[in-house]
Amino acid sequence: MPTYLSPGVYVEEVASGSAPIAGVGTSTAGFIGAFPNSITIPEPNPNYDPSQAIDATTNPAHITTNFSPVKVGEVKLCTNFSEFKKFFGNFSHSYAQRKLAHAVYGFFNNGGTRCYVVRTAGEGQITAEFLEETFEPIDEIAIVAAPGLTSSNVSDAIITH
């Protein structure tokens, strides 16, 4: 302890031995989608002639392409919507895939920077065990969403997770 030679107020900092509380991010989301192994994605037809009548065979306004997303249960980190499209496809004719695509698009459009996405082939495959295998090992996921999937089984699995 130091010796103080004159009267007054002295401030002495002493190490407390405990570490400060570390901040935890709450901006990383986990998205779950349930859609088949092949989806149909509409794309603008580059040969479409707007001066002609729209005809599904000779002058379609849109053409469709088949897309095969990543396999069931494979978790992918997406840092922008282009990465999502590479793994899971663009907006499609599939209701469940389209809901997922809109949710991820909105996430990035509203300032989100990182999200993890996983898919199943059907809504019945989303269980607490499935989430434990896919999302549990990733500590940074703070929010889990299953856009368009409203069954009580899915809700229970997410809450249990």
Task: Give 23-72 pLDDT, tens digit per residue.
Answer: 656 689 999 999 988 888 887 777 888 888 877 777 787 777 888 889 99
The neighbour count for residue 100, using CB atoms within 10 Å, is 29
Mean pLDDT of 84-113: 93
Instruction: Residue 27: name the closest of 103, 105, 116 by CA.
Output: 116
Mean pLDDT of the chain: 87
What local confidence, expressed as pLDDT, does residue 26 receive?
Answer: 63
Hey, which bits of 3-150 come out as E strands?
29-34, 39-44, 62-67, 76-78, 115-120, 143-145
Instruction: Residue 67: name the closest of 35, 100, 23 by CA.
Output: 35
Q: 15: Cβ–Cβ under 8 A, 6 or more apart, which residues?
A: none
Phi and psi torsions of 59, nearest 5°: -145, 65
Give the pair of three-digit tokens for residue 118: 């996983």
pLDDT over threshold 90, residue 137: yes
- Whether this prediction's pTM lies above 0.85 is answered by no
Residue 22 binned pLDDT confidence (cut-offs 50, 70, 90): low
Specify the higher pLDDT residue, 143 or 60: 143
What residue segments make up the domains of the chain, in order of their start? 29-160
